[in-house]
Structure 1
């Protein structure tokens, strides 16, 4: 898989030393050759509070050994 698109990638807050970082992934779309995911990142601060760090929508395409797109699931 290779990344072909990522929407605006902005950080709402920094990740601090001691934070526990959680990533959540939601599948938005599966095509014949690509998959689009919503990736959310949160940090749990040392005081127990949670902060949204960033959220991005990324599209990945399955590629063969020559870098050409191929059907998902084909090896």
Structure 2
């Protein structure tokens, strides 16, 4: 059974739908083996873009990212999963809450541990072929 932890609380599960899952690789790390925060943020942007494109049924651009704090490091070999949930929508924009969780590499016979490493709210805008905001269905 997989354990989940968040700083200050135990047994919290990710919120939203899993939109992306990847492995943190050495090319994405500093010499100490910690993954660059910009790489993590780009994975969140990709996951959010996938979800926003599905909601809007078309092209989207990232318009804003609300405060992002890194709670724990991401390390080489961690499985990185990004979960998305819709928080609000307008005529041509929407806001998604994104959570990034990692599954730490297994060591010996221990169960893997999932940890929340960062979260933020991303705002996406639906755009037309010329890059102008467009209303989306729904």
Q: TM-score higher than 0.5 here?
A: yes
In the alignment, structure 1 residue 42 sits paired with structure 2 residue 94 = no
- Residue 72 of structure 1 corresponds to which residue in structure 2? 136
Kindly report structure 1 stretches of 4+ aligned residues shifted beyond 2 Å: none
Give the distance between the partners of 1:22 and 1:68, measured in 2 at CA. Answer: 31
Pairing of 1:1-75 with structure 2 (within 5 A): 1-47=60-106, 48-73=112-137
> Structure 2 regions of 5+ residues with no counterpart?
1-59, 107-111
- What CA deviation, in whole Å up to 9, does each residue of 1:24-73 have, x standing for no partner? 10111122211110000000112411221110101101112222111114
Question: In structure 2, the residue corresponding to 1:69 is in which secondary structure?
Answer: coil
- Normalised by the length of structure 2, the TM-score is 0.49
**Which consecutive residues of structure 1, in runs of 5 or more, have no partner in the other structure?**
none
Work out the CA distance in 2 between the residues paired with 1:3 and 1:19. Answer: 26
Tell me: higher relative CO, structure 1 or 2? Use CA pairs within 8 A at least 6 residues apart. 1
Which SS does the other structure have where 1:17 is aligned?
A: coil
Higher strand fraction (1 or 2):
1
Count of residues in Structure 1 that have an aligned counterpart in Structure 2: 73
Secondary structure in 1 matching 2:76? coil
